[in-house]
Amino acid sequence: MPDTPTESVPVLRGDEPGSFPHSVLAERHPAVIRQVREAFPHGPERRRALDALLRSCADGVVEPLPADADARDRDRWADWGMDEYAGRSWYDVPWLWAESHFYRRLLDAVGYFGPGPWQGVDPFRPAKLAELDAPETDEELAALDGLDGLDALPADERTRSLLHGALWGNRADLGFRLSEGGGDAGGEVAALVADDSDALWSLLPPAGPGTPGPATLCLVADNAGRELVPDLLLVSHLLGEGRIDRAVLHVKPYPYYVSDATPTDVLDALRRLVAAGGAAAAYGDRLWAALTDGRVTVRAHPFSCAPLPYSDMPADLRAEFAAATVTVLKGDLNYRRLVGDRRWPPTTPFADVTAYFPGPVAALRTLKSDVITGLTAETERALEGSGERRWRTSGTHALIQVRT
């Protein structure tokens, strides 16, 4: 990588008190355990397991998967670094790895992988459904209708609005809200710190004379609930405008990071659209039809839950992304996995850190962790001088970055 060899850029860890990664391990993870403990009437065995994980978060070490874990899962985690990190403090291993392993252990604690009555029960489902059914969701869907609604806008403006809806919908991340509370855009620096949306639309032009051949969008989703709804609206719109012929929606194969989307969450969000009536239902009906005829597919690859960067993706996933017209990765976690969870200088070119990716790639992300690349020197100076001490992590800024 020009001027910035990956090996010379430190991997983020949680071993620095007062740092954002440290606060996630020390504060957010215990909060997640307490949320799950209160959301379900788990019996004594499950409650003891949750309490043990809570103690481990405070002063314990990374433990291997239990002996009764599925052999394929154990093999995957062995490939993902279990032998190297087992027995070490949560704070001394790479932060991305520690976070991912925490959620895998949480699923063990609640009996998700069974056998037993809690097998396959999403421990985060009550929070996901509460958000999806919130009055704010009704208000957002109602905004699609009427003379002042989204569908009344010119086509290009409607496309831009739906893209920004998918971008800023990332603020609905439930795990983020547990410890941070979210925030409003504002301050002295523009909320959008990088905007390559023109490059994205150059890859996905509207249908018409001279339009390139069939276009396929791979959308790597992030959160369920009120973030997934605008993602689905965007996909439906791009199909309706003829900007794409096919879409592959990548989600997690099992519950992860509190609010990460699973296939069940896709169905919940789609039903929410169809039941809303008006323009929302029209978007939902189009997507429903596209799912039934194969123009839209849902993918839940095991690597979606890997504690590794996308530079380590397996061959089958690499081939799938290579065949796409563009792959769009949503959210903060996917951004960290895309560029590498490292202390990059903010002006490190996005194109350089994503050069390994097998095809055109775009990131839609609100800033909720320390990792950042692709800023201009002017933007970095403005952010550092703005007085917004937590601009990297507060969710008040966002970016659209594209490597064609």
Structure confidence at residue 174 (pLDDT): 44
Helices then strands, counting H and E runs in the chain, come out as 18, 7
Instruction: Tell me which DSSP letter residue 1 carries.
Output: -
**What integer pLDDT is reported at residue 147 of this predicted model?**
60
Q: In 151-291, at which residue ranges do the beta strands (DSSP E only) sit?
A: 192-195, 216-220, 246-250
Cα torsion through 346, 350, 355, 357, rounded to 10: 110
Average pLDDT along the chain: 91
- pLDDT tier at 132, thresholds 50, 70, 90: very high
pLDDT at 269 over 80: yes
Strand arrangement, sheet containing 296-299? 192-195, 398-403, 361-366, 326-330, 216-220, 246-250, 296-299
How confident is the model at residue 1, as a pLDDT?
A: 37
Supply the pLDDT for residue 41: 96
Q: Quick check: 198 pLDDT over 60?
A: yes
Please give the pLDDT value at position 188. 56
- How sure is the predictor about 317, in pLDDT bands with cuts at 50, 70 and 90? very high
Rounded distance between C-alpha atoms, residue 331 and residue 2, angstroms: 26
Assess whether pLDDT exceeds 80 at residue 346: yes
Lowest mean pLDDT among 158-167, 255-264, 317-326: 158-167
**How far is Cα 166 from Cα 349, in angstroms, rounded to an integer?**
24
For residue 201, which of 147, 242, 259, 146 has the smallest C-alpha distance? 242
Task: Work out the average pLDDT over 205-230.
Answer: 89
CA atoms 304, 309, 315, 319: torsion sign: positive
Which residue matches tokens 């019996």? Answer: 43
Task: Provide the token pair at 381.
Answer: 């100076």
Summarised one tens digit per residue, pLDDT across range 171-189 is 544 444 344 333 344 455 7
CA distance 46 to 116: 11
Instruction: Tell me how far apart the alpha carbons of residues 170 and 313 are, in angstroms, rounded to a whole number.
Output: 24
* pLDDT per residue as tens digits for the range 30-84: 999 999 999 999 999 999 999 999 999 988 999 998 888 888 899 999 999 999 9
Gap between the Cα atoms of 12 and 370, Å rounded = 9
pTM of the prediction?
0.93
Check: CB of residue 388 under 8 Å from CB of residue 189: yes
25-30-31-36 Cα dihedral, nearest 10 degrees: 130
Residue 208 has a pLDDT of 75
Choose among 228, 236, 225: nearest CA to 279: 236
Mean pLDDT (whole number) for 227-252 = 96
Measured CA to CA, the distance from residue 277 to residue 142 in angstroms comes to: 9
Average pLDDT over residues 266-283: 96
**Residue type at 24 in one-letter notation:** V
pLDDT in tens, 113-124: 988 999 999 999
Model confidence pLDDT, tens digit, residues 297-312: 999 999 999 999 999 9
User: Model confidence at 109, in pLDDT bands (50, 70, 90)?
Assistant: very high
**φ, ψ dihedrals at 94, nearest 5°:** -50, 140
Q: Give me the pLDDT at residue 57, please.
A: 92
